[in-house]
Amino acid sequence: MTTASGPSIACTLGADDLRTRQESWFAVIDAALRNKTATPTGVRLEFDPDPKAAQTLLDLVASERSCCAWASWSLTTTQHSTCVEVDADESGAPVLHAMFGRIPDGRRAVRPSS
């Protein structure tokens, strides 16, 4: 789908690369996600302040900017959390909601410290 103001709403990854990317997202989500919030224009994901998770998210966001340029991908890291915010226009927001829709809303179960 082509939007009036931007690139087509489509992922440029092939099937194998898409599967690998999804597995990377699910791994970091399982390991460190605190909260997911759907927004009118996309989604906000808040993660634990873990350096390994932050590096993985930095790599994922950089990769997503290449294959899903129709969305705006941002990453913010503080001492308290790492947040990924993904936004798109009115045509792209439902796609983002579907992409991240399988992730439960709200706080995940707290895991014991190692």
Structure confidence by residue, pLDDT tens digits, 31-66: 999 999 999 999 999 999 999 999 999 999 999 999
pLDDT at 26 over 70: yes
pLDDT in the model for residue 10: 80
Give the pLDDT mean for 23-33. 92
Q: Is 20 helix (H, G, I), strand (E, B) or coil?
A: helix
Domain boundaries, the chain: 35-99
Q: What is the DSSP letter of 112?
A: P
**Residue type present at position 105:** D
**Residue type present at position 113:** S
Torsion-angle region of residue 71: left (phi > 0), alpha (psi -120 to 50) or beta?
Answer: beta
Helices (H), the chain: 15-32, 51-67, 93-99
Q: Please say whether the beta carbons of 46 and 78 come within 8 A.
A: no
